[in-house]
Amino acid sequence: MPHLSRERAVTGADDFAAIALDPLADRPAADWQKAPPGKWTPAQIIEHLALSFDLSARGFEQAQPQGPRRARTLLEQVAAFLVFRLGWIPPGIESPRRAAPATRVEAPAAREHLRAALARWSALAGRPGVFVRHPRLGDLDFDEWLRFHAWHCQHHAKQIRQRLAS
């Protein structure tokens, strides 16, 4: 199954939950609110991941099989290469507004939203000929979204671990 990190293979919702939530297991509520100025807290990061899963799930729920994939723009090609081939995205790239968390997110709400979003995502089956647009990477099929979410969770889990270590 898809994985973009040598650290762990990702095969489903339980793996996504473990990647994102394990660093926060048994941590006090105050740790979920730690962040350097101008950066998201762990609670906001978890909420952002939940929003990302919700948005892609909604896309697949609403999408109809279509013809060939829309050609990626040059910028989308570069972004897809960076994420899917190198497992990296340049610092400073902002999240699309729809996936940005609220200013204050509480730990229980973020945790439950992520679990619900993962359950929604798990209910989807790969659908041939269905592409859902990612705002930076262009049209992605189900397996590509799975790879994106694997990379995305690992990327943000690293940020959470950094915040907890400071």
pLDDT digits (tens, 9 = 90+) for 103-112: 999 999 999 9
In a domain, 1, yes or no: no
Q: Is residue 137 part of a domain?
A: yes
pTM, to two decimals: 0.90
β-bridge partners, 138: 134
Which has more pLDDT, 44 or 125?
A: 44
Any domain includes 107: yes
Number of folded domains that form the chain: 1
User: Which sign, positive or negative, has the C-alpha torsion 100, 2, 131, 59?
Assistant: negative
For the domain that residue 123 is a member of, what is the CATH number?
1.20.120.450
> Within a domain: residue 79?
yes
Q: What percent of the chain has pLDDT over 90?
A: 71
Q: Is residue 8 part of a domain?
A: no
Hey, what are 20's tokens?
Answer: 């994102």
- How far apart, in whole angstroms, are the C-alpha atoms of residue 157 and residue 164? 11
**Among 7, 3, 22, which Cα is nearest to 161's?**
22
Contact 122, 12 (CB under 8 A): yes
The verdict on residue 121 lying in a domain is yes
Does any domain span residue 159? Answer: yes
Structural contact between residues 51 and 101, judged by C-beta atoms closer than 8 angstroms: yes
Contacts of 132 (CB under 8 A, 6+ apart): 56, 59, 60, 63, 139, 140, 145
Residue 31 domain-assigned?
no
The pLDDT of 33-41, averaged and rounded, is 96
Top-confidence residue, 64 or 109? 109
